[in-house]
């Protein structure tokens, strides 16, 4: 005799009776070591945004985030690898929770990979009586759904209080932007916030002019996105340094807006110039230069200078850039992960380019003695990858963080600065 659940999910072998849970409160009573829980919803809900009609957001404690929608983009070998990297153990009894169609799709794939003991919790996560986990500043990493509500003037959680600006950020002329961009979005060329020779931030006077031309005050909510979100994150760190109180990043960038099926518009939008309303920079501690980087290196127990560069860059097999000749790393810096090369950041992104789970990020860093009790500064080649990682640390609630503006480019430009190659001995 088959139960209704077995008929509905024929590929699933259910748990033995002593392990069965049908609600999140039941789940909380089971030993953590005996089971694993997979949150197969969007990472935005996992991070803390409530689903429609639900009272609160976040995820069940220690749940692994694996959005079922990613399945459409993954080949079987890559799927298996990504599940393992996410912390999924194929031999453990497993609980899934997301809407029924998504849960069924993921359960079928897990079953094919040998995960036999599967069950699905259909109760809304907001009904769990315990504390949900969420990123401390999750509201600064927004979804396309939230942004659409803000553009439409609909009532939304964490809505801007004093007006907002949407800004697309990229290097060079607005070629792609002019053809299609998020409605009302302005355009920011990174050449207006960075300058040669090291591609550090522009001087404060030039920065003030750029911010004024975008119509941004210190109390304007600014939502940034890019075709490559490292550019948007670079602008985010600089606006935060300048003193904008509420800077947000579109989780997944332009790709997330397109995937959501929302409309775009062509041509250039312009803003009316406004006075910023406070001195620039108002938060100078968020971006540091070579002298401060040296000070961090002098106290590795309480401070960390973190390299957000590929492993090949870190050990000196490549500089990563055609215009940077020296290879290696800043001596004493710790490896914070990055991606396959200087132009990718796969280690910090899900298949849909959204931010990966904070648990995974912190596990990277713990292996290298990097933790949130320290003063932590991130660097890369010229600041883009470091800025995206800085912003993720910010939404995770890390306090004493900054971007080392000059990064490897400026540091390696002075032979007096110590550098190293090869694999470090920890």
Query: 304 near 411, Cβ under 8 Å?
Result: no
How crowded is residue 259: how many other Cβ atoms within 10 Å of its Cβ? 13
Query: 383 near 234, Cβ under 8 Å?
Result: yes
- From first CA to last CA, the distance across the chain in angstroms is 58
**DSSP strand pairing (329-330 vs 419-420):** antiparallel
Residues 6+ apart with CB under 8 A from 412: 319, 324, 326, 328, 419
Token pair, residue 121, equals 């919790």
Q: Could you give the residue ranges of the DSSP H alpha helices within 181-316?
A: 204-213, 229-242, 253-259, 290-297, 311-314
CA-to-CA distance for 103 and 119, rounded, in angstroms? Answer: 9
Buried b (16+ CB within 10 A) or exposed e, 141-155: bbbbbbbbbbbeeee
Write the burial class of residue 179 (CB in 10 Å: 0-12 exposed, 13-18 middle, 19+ buried).
exposed
- Residue 380 appears among annotated catalytic residues: yes
**DSSP strand pairing (194-195 vs 200-201):** antiparallel
3-state secondary structure of 81: helix
Query: 234 near 391, Cβ under 8 Å?
Result: no
Helix, strand, coil share (%) of the chain residues, nearest 5:
35, 15, 50
Catalytic residue among 11, 40, 98, 380: 380
3-state secondary structure of 347: helix
Which amino acids are annotated catalytic? Answer: 380
């Amino acid at each position: 005799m088959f139960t209704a659940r077995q008929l509905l999910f024929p590929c699933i072998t259910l748990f033995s009776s002593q392990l069965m849970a049908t609600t999140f409160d039941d789940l909380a009573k089971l030993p953590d070591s005996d089971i694993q829980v997979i949150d197969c919803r969007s990472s935005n809900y996992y991070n803390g945004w409530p689903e429609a009609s639900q009272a609160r957001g976040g995820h069940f404690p220690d749940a692994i985030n694996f959005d079922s929608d990613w399945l459409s983009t993954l080949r079987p070998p890559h799927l298996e690898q990504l599940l393992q990297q996410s912390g999924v153990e194929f031999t453990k009894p497993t609980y899934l929770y997301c809407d029924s169609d998504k849960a069924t799709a993921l359960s079928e794939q897990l079953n094919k990979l040998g995960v036999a003991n599967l069950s699905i919790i259909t109760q809304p996560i907001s009904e769990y009586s315990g504390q949900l986990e969420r990123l401390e500043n999750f509201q600064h990493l927004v979804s396309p759904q939230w942004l659409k509500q803000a553009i439409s003037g609909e009532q939304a959680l964490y809505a801007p209080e004093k007006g907002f600006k949407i800004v697309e950020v990229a290097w060079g002329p607005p070629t792609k932007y002019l053809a299609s961009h998020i409605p009302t979005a302005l355009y920011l060329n990174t050449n207006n916030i960075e300058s040669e020779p090291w591609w550090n931030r522009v001087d404060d006077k030039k920065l003030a002019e750029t911010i004024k031309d975008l119509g941004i005050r210190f109390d304007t909510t600014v939502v940034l996105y890019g075709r490559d979100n490292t550019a948007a994150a670079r602008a985010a760190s600089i606006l935060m340094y300048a003193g904008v109180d509420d800077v947000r990043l579109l989780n997944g960038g332009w790709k997330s807006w397109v995937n959501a099926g929302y409309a775009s518009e062509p041509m250039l939008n312009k803003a009316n110039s406004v006075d910023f309303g406070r001195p620039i920079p108002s938060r100078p501690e968020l971006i540091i230069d070579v002298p401060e980087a040296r000070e961090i290196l002098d106290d590795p127990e309480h401070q960390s200078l973190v390299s957000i560069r590929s492993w090949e860059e870190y050990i000196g097999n490549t500089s990563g850039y055609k215009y940077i000749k020296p290879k290696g790393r800043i001596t004493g810096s710790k490896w914070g992960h990055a991606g396959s090369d200087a132009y990718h950041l796969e280690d910090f992104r899900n298949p849909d380019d959204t931010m990966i789970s904070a648990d995974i990020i912190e596990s990277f860093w713990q292996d290298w003695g990097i933790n949130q009790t320290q003063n932590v500064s991130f660097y890369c080649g010229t600041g883009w990858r470091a800025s995206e990682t800085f912003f993720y640390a910010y939404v995770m609630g890390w306090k004493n963080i900054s971007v080392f503006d000059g990064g490897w480019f400026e540091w390696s430009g002075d032979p007096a600065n110590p550098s190293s190659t090869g694999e470090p001995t920890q």
